[in-house]
Structure 1
């Protein structure tokens, strides 16, 4: 007779499920709890958002660095975009254009940074990350040139 060893799993299925549930719960709680510094950042970002809403489109500072944020889902507005980028302290302006007929965003937006390091860090860290329901595509924003006879297409 051949001797077959029977492998016995000592870990119970319920133990693994409980451990997995604990990790998920721990993860959710740590993400929901904010410390005082984050509260200040949120209050500052809400103030920035109010300032942004009151300013016009022509208020973009030409010395700041702008990112084009593409592939925005319909659930993303200026407030959500700003909250997603709260960890970059030099964010100075956020814009998500809306379609006036439908009342929905056009699927893209712009973010301005006063610090080039924040601009580059945001581009590296956030490109392909989810903001709302879709992963965003970041690119360097192109400035609009005024239409003149030389650069106007016929």
Structure 2
């Protein structure tokens, strides 16, 4: 083992955060400020707190995360202004529910076959790809759990 490497037992494992834990991390990093830039969060966050990309995936955007925490939003950089997130969380959950109703399964392979029409010839362009669902919701299992409870 070289210097700086962690022993195999201390490697990072995925951590699940509740919405409240994520909000608490934002509020702690904001301290007494009305808002918090993404870069300030990255500099101030503790290693055991959620990453900025995870906050964005879970809430949909950095500003949506700030709003959930009751903080003021930040202005979007010029090169990103006008860009939007195509799939809302509700659209994602609706797509999963529709697949569940039609197929009786929420396995990733079943979802993708249903979405692309490889099982019935109907391409469903109104639903997001599985990779998008994983990215936006944090994991496939979290998304399916939220969709069908």
TM-score by length of 1: 0.23
Which structure is higher in helix share?
2
Higher gyration radius (CA): 1
Which structure is higher in strand share?
1
Per chain length, whose mean CA-contact separation is higher, i.e. which structure has more relative contact order (CA < 8 Å, sep 6+)? 1
TM-score by length of 2: 0.23
